[in-house]
Amino acid sequence: MSVDIISVRNLRFRYNGLDVLSGISFSMHAGDYVGIVGPNGSGKTTLLKLILGLVKPDEGEVFLFGQPSNDFTGWQRIGYLPQTPEGLNARFPVTVSEIIGLGLLSKKKFPRHMERSDVQAIDRVLDMLDIGGVRNRLFSELSGGQQQRVLLARAVVNDPQLLILDEPSTALDPETRERFFVLMDLLNRERNTAIIIVTHDTGNIGRYASKLLYLDKKILFYGSFEDFCRSEEVTRMFGKFAQHVICHCHD
Amino acid sequence: MHSTSSATATIEIENMSVADFIQYGFVQRAVIAGSFIALLCSTLGVFLVLRRLSLIGDGLAHATFGSVAVAMLLKMSPLYVSIPLVMAAAVGILKLTERFRVHGDAAIGIVSSLGIASGVMISSAAGGFNVDLFSYLFGSILSISTAEVVLSVGLSAAVLFILSFFYNELLSITFDEEASRVSGVNTESLNIIFVLLTAMTVVLSMKVVGIMLISALLILPAVTALHISRSFRSTIAIAAAVSVVSVISGILISFPFDLPTGASIVFMNFIFFLFSILFKKIKSSA
């Protein structure tokens, strides 16, 4: 029996005495493509941070590849794209290849120095994401869309088995956003990369993701799109219109 | 007749060239120790400036003032007493921000004022060493002893080695600390190592430019390099070059003109900074 890639058990997280998340339990398997949707402040980003061990839960446990997240050591199996590049120092003097190289740190043992094979890995991912032309440019000189692709390149340069993406399409124009989702679909289908993505782009997530997790401080729905779209309970919770908005793009 | 009194003896300097100055043992010692410390400050300074921690140098320098007073009270070498005390102050700043959620600038302010207050309190209570204590405020690189040179060079080399050992990890947490943790980098331990190295650097720098001007040695070369660099590696290389040239030229200029060496080094750094602004302006208008 294969081990769950992510297993979340009865997670609870409080901030200033209030529940941000409670009773969160779900699991993800190899090759799953899960879209997390929900209103602003529903705890989507917090859930990703809890999964990655970036914040500690008040109750409950998270297992990554069968290992408790607080003892997890297999970081080379995970690629992470944080919310937006706006939080990063815009004047940081770092080239595109220097940033992508940082994505290779997780598979190295201490001391983590770069080798020749790393340069080839960087070149491969630059070509895959169609940003070979900006290899030696400063990150700060790139457009928002290009910066997002560079950060995605950092997340996937290691060939991760699990890709965790936090609102990756926010800074992208419609055309780049479309290309981004096609690329995620390709990674999911061709490399069997499991993807968990927080997004407000219900149209694209409805089209590409295999499962939907609807969050509003607790899990209101977790399952396939087919179930989501057929569910009378979902209709009762959100109304026919909201259900239709998410479901109409899903083939 | 023009003479300088900053070294151990008064030396007639009229008609002397740079080559003549460099013959003096105390100038050689100052150049060697100053260059290593400059290299160290500039490298660390790039990380500090980019992590928006520039003023930690200032805060720890003020803590150094208190530690020097303690050393004088105990009649011990300030370097040996200051290194552990300022390291403790650095960890204090880190813990105030991490555990007690005090903002970084406020934590630096707390440790900084506590350092100054301790220094003033001790010197006032003990009395008699105010003149010695205040000599540390503005540095005295030309009076550095051979033993101090050996210690400064050794410690600088050790800190530079540790920095190069952790180069990729430090670059990673400086760029994006959260993503860095997901890469398996132990950011908590690395942050402690980083502030301890900063503390060591600040203590070593007090002899070069003095407690009041240490932050200039950390900040100016880094900011200058950030104006003209095209990669992270080149930022460190440019900052190092600017810093070393500023220290050497500051020493050599201060000697014949009988200027304070620490302040001369800072002014040389500032001149490079102005050139970098000019360079950036010309480049952006081209």
Residue B283: exposed, middle, or buried by beta-carbon count in 10 A (0-12, 13-18, 19+)?
exposed
What string of H, E and C letters represents the secondary structure of A196-231?
EEECCCHHHHHHHCCEEEEECCCEEEEEEHHHHHHC
Q: Does B285 reside within a domain?
A: no
Q: Does B283 reside within a domain?
A: no
A82 touches chain B (CB under 8 A): yes
Q: Does B286 reside within a domain?
A: no
Among B169, B182, B229, beta carbon nearest to A112: B169
Q: Does B18 reside within a domain?
A: no
Residue A21, SS3 per DSSP: strand
* CATH homologous superfamily of A6-247: P-loop containing nucleotide triphosphate hydrolases (3.40.50.300)
Tokens of A240: 């026919």
Q: Check residue B128 and give its pLDDT.
A: 65
β-strands B3-4, A219-224 pairing? unpaired
**A231-240, B3-12, B106-115, B134-143: least confident range:** B3-12
Q: What global pTM score does this model have? A: 0.85
Q: Does B16 reside within a domain?
A: no
| Higher-scoring residue by pLDDT: A157, B4 | A157
Whether B55 and B97 have beta carbons less than 8 Å apart is answered as no
Query: How many angstroms away from the CA of A92 is the closest CA of chain B?
Result: 7
Mutation to test the B interface, candidates A72, A81, A92, most B Cβ within 10 Å = A92
Encode pLDDT of A40-59 as tens digits: 888 999 999 999 999 999 99
Query: How many angstroms away from the CA of B219 is the closest CA of chain A?
Result: 15
Whether B109 and B55 have beta carbons less than 8 Å apart is answered as no
Q: Does B15 reside within a domain?
A: no
> Measuring CA to CA, which residue among B264, B25, B23, B11 is closest to residue B3?
B11
Calpha distance A67→A73 (Å, rounded):
8
**A61-75, B53-67, B120-134: least confident range:** B120-134
The domain limits of chain A are 6-247
Q: Is the pLDDT of residue A232 over 90?
A: no
- Containing domain of residue B143, as a range? 4-8+24-277
**In this predicted complex, what is the ipTM?**
0.83
Among A52, A75, A93, beta carbon nearest to B232: A93
Q: Does B49 reside within a domain?
A: yes
Encode pLDDT of B53-109 as tens digits: 888 988 999 999 999 999 988 888 888 899 999 999 999 999 998 888 888 889 999
> Measuring CA to CA, which residue among B64, B62, B45, B84 is closest to residue B196?
B84
B172 and A93: CB-CB below 8 Å?
no
User: Could you give the number of structural domains in chain B?
Assistant: 1
Question: Looking at the DSSP assignment, which residues form a beta bridge with residue B4?
Answer: B11
Greatest CA separation for chain A: 57
| Domain containing residue B47: CATH number | 1.10.3470.10
CB-CB neighbors (< 8 A) of A78 in chain B:
182
A93 and B231: CB-CB below 8 Å?
yes
Encode pLDDT of B139-152 as tens digits: 788 888 898 899 88
